[in-house]
């Protein structure tokens, strides 16, 4: 999701949790209301079929089934709803058989009244088993009611979200598979990144988790992801993926079970350990039934299982498999002060295109005090390096560093250094109107004193 709260929305949709305060007076029995609505549509459909209004009957039957499919928790999440759903679908099926037996066909020899197929939600287990049967798999999927409801969610209310994430996944799944294989982990754990972020490297949660793996700041530092005023490697897909693979391996080594490892990835190792000790079970589904873990975590693990199922055979669930592989890139390393506008020009890219290839960057100018790794299109790497090494002093130079003191203003700093405010703001990835914080370090663009200094090299991915 663009705002970085992909999993929160998925979990809320799966568990039926509202993201705002509930109304003061809730209906006495939502399930009864759903069943009554569906049965009214069904009765109308049967009457219209008897009156030979076949298109009208089909619309009514569709509405009857949709009444169940729009339930927030999924049609199979509650025994009463599931039983009523199956009864309605069976009556639709029987009506179809009656029409076929009567040879009620149009002039083309096709049934004039095309009763819709039983939805995938009704036959979710059969469909999931068929999807899992396609090739070998090394992640143990559980096809219980929670997982089937999560599949229902991906097929229904979150279909557009899942389709976008699937298309985007082509840019990252190859490197994810490599990183997981290096750690001896199931390749299907790519589903974790899908549920966490929909494969959006700039995704940021309310809790400040970031990147396609949604690392919290402390966990990112624990696995060597650099986070400073220049870059945040939690948003660097290759580096964060390698860190996530190590983290997942350590979690599985600790708990010896993928469900518990995933629960710990979501809510923390210590919380899962406490739940195990308190309830004396290492079965995640038992812990979920006893509400021993946060509601978010109880939804999170089923969502991972569901994503594994759909990713195994997306076409079976109506998703196109046209994944966007994105451009082939090659990293280049620069160890002198440079502005991204110059780099973008040298690589024949816009600044926005360059930033999209380098989501970990937090500024648009860099001082050269530390080397900077930039990803550019592979075919542009050599020309970009040659161009960068030939930049004039005015574009390839030193930058002053200014620590904000009490009373400083951007206009005052700009005056002191003789640099336009807009250039200082651009170099630090901020707006002119942004408030300065005492102790903040600003990069001040300044021409280099001598040309021909510094170096730039290409490195393989």
Q: What is the pLDDT of residues 186-219, one digit of tens each?
A: 999 999 999 999 999 989 888 889 999 999 999 9
Instruction: Average the pLDDT over 393-409 and give the result.
Output: 75
Instruction: Average the pLDDT over 242-251 and give the result.
Output: 98
Rounded to whole angstroms, the Cα distance separating 367 from 288 reads: 50
Mean of all residue pLDDT scores within the chain: 80
pLDDT the model gives residue 435: 85
Closest CA to 201 of 311, 331, 349, 360: 360
Phi-psi region of 109 (alpha: psi -120 to 50; beta: other; left: phi over 0): left
Whole-model pTM over 0.75: no
Query: Right CATH number for 124-317 from 1.10.530.10, 3.40.190.10, 3.30.420.40, 1.10.3720.10?
Result: 1.10.530.10
Rounded to whole angstroms, the Cα distance separating 55 from 37 reads: 20
Rounded to whole angstroms, the Cα distance separating 313 from 137 reads: 12
Q: What is the pLDDT of residues 43-53, one digit of tens each?
A: 998 888 888 78
Q: What is the pLDDT of residues 358-381, one digit of tens each?
A: 999 887 777 666 778 889 999 999
Rounded to whole angstroms, the Cα distance separating 271 from 296 reads: 13
Q: In 98-120, which positions are buried (b, 16+ CB within 10 angstroms) versus exposed (e)?
A: ebeeeeeeeeeeeeebebeebbb
Residue, of 212 and 84, whose pLDDT is higher: 212
**Alpha-carbon torsion angle 216, 221, 224, 227, nearest 10:** 90
Rounded to whole angstroms, the Cα distance separating 365 from 443 reads: 8
| Structural class in CATH, domain 330-458 | alpha beta
Tell me the two tokens of residue 341.
Answer: 């506008």
User: Does pLDDT of 20 surpass 60?
Assistant: no
Element (H, E) at 60: helix 54-69
Tell me the two tokens of residue 112.
Answer: 């004039």
Give me the residue spans of the domains in the chain: 24-71+77-117, 124-317, 330-458
């Amino acid at each position: 999701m663009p705002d970085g709260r992909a999993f929160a929305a998925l979990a809320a949709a799966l568990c039926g949790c509202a993201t705002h305060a509930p109304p003061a007076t809730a209906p006495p029995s939502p399930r009864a209301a759903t069943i009554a609505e569906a049965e009214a549509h069904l009765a109308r459909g049967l009457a219209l079929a008897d009156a030979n209004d076949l298109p009208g009957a089909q619309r009514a039957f569709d509405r009857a089934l949709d009444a169940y499919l729009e339930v927030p928790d999924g049609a199979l999440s509650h025994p009463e709803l599931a039983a009523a759903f199956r009864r309605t679908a069976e009556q639709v099926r029987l009506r179809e058989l009656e029409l076929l037996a009567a040879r009620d066909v149009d002039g083309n020899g096709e049934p004039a009244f095309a009763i819709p197929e039983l939805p995938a939600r009704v036959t979710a287990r059969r469909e999931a088993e068929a999807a899992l049967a396609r090739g070998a798999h090394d992640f143990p999927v559980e096809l219980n009611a929670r997982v089937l409801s999560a599949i229902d969610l991906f097929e229904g209310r979150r279909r557009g979200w899942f389709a976008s994430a699937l298309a985007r996944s082509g840019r990252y799944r190859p490197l994810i598979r490599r990183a997981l294989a290096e750690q001896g982990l199931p390749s299907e754990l790519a589903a974790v990144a899908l549920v966490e972020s929909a494969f959006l490297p700039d995704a940021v949660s309310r809790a400040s988790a970031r990147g396609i793996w949604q690392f919290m700041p402390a966990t990112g530092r624990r696995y060597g992801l650099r986070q400073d005023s220049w870059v945040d490697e939690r948003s660097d897909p290759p580096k964060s993926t390698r860190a996530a693979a190590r983290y997942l391996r350590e979690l599985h080594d600790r708990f010896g079970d993928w469900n518990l490892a995933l629960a710990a990835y979501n809510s923390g190792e210590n919380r899962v350990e406490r739940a195990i000790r308190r309830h004396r079970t290492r079965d995640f589904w038992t812990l979920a039934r006893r509400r021993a873990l946060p509601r978010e975590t109880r939804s999170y693990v089923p969502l991972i299982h569901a994503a594994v199922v759909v990713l195994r055979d997306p076409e079976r669930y109506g998703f196109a498999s046209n994944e966007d592989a994105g451009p082939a890139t090659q990293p280049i390393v620069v160890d002198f002060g440079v502005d991204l506008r110059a780099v973008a020009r040298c690589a024949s890219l816009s600044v926005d295109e360059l930033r999209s290839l380098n989501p970990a960057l937090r500024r648009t100018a860099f001082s050269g005090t530390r080397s900077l790794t930039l990803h550019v299109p592979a075919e542009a790497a050599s020309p970009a390096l040659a161009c960068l090494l030939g930049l004039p002093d005015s574009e390839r130079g030193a930058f002053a560093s200014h620590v904000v003191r009490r009373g400083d203003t951007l206009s005052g700093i700009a005056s002191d250094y003789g640099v336009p405010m807009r250039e200082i703001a651009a170099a630090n990835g901020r707006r002119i109107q942004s408030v300065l914080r005492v102790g903040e370090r600003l990069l001040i663009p300044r021409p280099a004193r001598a040309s021909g200094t510094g170096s730039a090299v290409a490195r393989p991915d």
